[in-house]
Amino acid sequence: MKLEASGVTKRYGDQAALDRTSFETPADARVIALLGPSGGGKSTLLRVLGCLLTVDEGAIYIDGTRLPNEEAESLVERRKNGFVFQGYNLFPHLSALENIALPLREVHSLDAAAARDRARELLARLGLSGHEHKRPAELSGGQQQRAAIARALAPRPRLLLLDEPTSALDPVMTGEVLDVIGELASEGQHIVLSTHEIAFAREVSDTILFLAEGRALETTPTKKFFTDPETPEARAYLDGLSRYR
Ligand code: ADP
Ligand code: MG
């Protein structure tokens, strides 16, 4: 999957979260990790890629196709993607099964039996067989996040977009969720994620997109990024991380 941005600006009020940024990933990128300091624009870029937000200036392309700026078209594009945020993803009043089956029926027009079967299949794949009828509050944080990933995957998304999927989890649950993401990556799912789990980003991604102050400062093969980053900003970021590791 190739992601491309050309002069993209996204403002909140008068603040530019993405500031005339341009980048281009390799055409065969499969897992892209967004790294960089907090406030750099990672969440905003994920939302733009997922068509949850439209840009103010510039253009974004996925595999050469420009993402729409019109709300109606954005809605259509949005349904092609799966999104997982850092926490509070699930509908609290619905069972794990219904959390997955409901959007399959309501948004993706599956009939009730097909939606239920698909939900069961995904829960099993994410190690949640036997938990189908539990509500989110009856699941651990790691189980909730795996259910959220199951829901995102159920409609077979073109892109799985993960915004700090483990930041609300303790180390054991973080490990559970990272294992699942690693498996999806090795099965060929196209993933764009932001994470503070640097060792994981290094292991699972093929491309690093380094963002700071609303700009993509470099788009570098993962191996090279960690040994020989192109920009002093990325070097400083990596040096800062390694101080306590
Ligand atoms: P990151 O995910 O890298 O921490 P964000 O994309 O969340 O960065 O934020 C980029 C900038 O945009 C930050 O300065 C942030 O404060 C600002 N920002 C993000 N979301 C909003 C919002 N909904 N309203 C106003 N400002 C926002
Ligand atoms: Mg963020």
Q: How many Å apart are CA 128 and CA 3, to the nearest integer?
A: 33
- Amino acid making up residue 40: G
Q: Which ligand is nearest to the CA of 210?
A: 1
Ligand 1 is surrounded, with C-beta below 6 A, by: 12, 15, 17, 38-44
In order of 69, 221, 228, 229, 231, the CA distances from 224 in angstroms are 34, 5, 5, 6, 12
Q: What's residue 244's pLDDT?
A: 67
Q: Which ligand is nearest to the CA of 36?
A: 1
Q: Which ligand is nearest to the CA of 211?
A: 1
Cα 51 to middle of ligand 2, angstroms: 16
Q: What's residue 173's pLDDT?
A: 87
- Residue having the nearest C-alpha atom to atom 24 of ligand 1: 12
Strand partners, 66: 61
Summary count for the chain: helices (H), strands (E): 9, 10
Of 230, 202, 208, 221, nearest to 32 by C-alpha is: 208
> The tokens of 12 are what?
């909140």
Task: State the DSSP code for 7.
Answer: E
Q: What's residue 81's pLDDT?
A: 93
User: 102 CB contacts (<8 Å, ≥6 apart)?
Assistant: 91, 94, 115
Cα 113 to middle of ligand 2, angstroms: 37
| Test site for ligand 1: of 8, 10, 11, 12, most ligand atoms within 8 A of the Cβ | 12
Q: What's residue 245's pLDDT?
A: 61
Residues of the chain with pLDDT under 50: none
Q: Which ligand is nearest to the CA of 44?
A: 1
| Test site for ligand 1: of 11, 14, 42, 44, most ligand atoms within 8 A of the Cβ | 44
- Residue having the nearest C-alpha atom to atom 23 of ligand 1: 12
Cα 17 to middle of ligand 1, angstroms: 6
Cα 39 to middle of ligand 1, angstroms: 6
Cα 76 to middle of ligand 2, angstroms: 24
Contacts 24+ apart (CB under 8 A), 218-225: 219/23, 219/24, 219/25, 221/26, 222/33, 225/35
Q: How many Å apart are CA 142 and CA 176, to the nearest integer?
A: 7
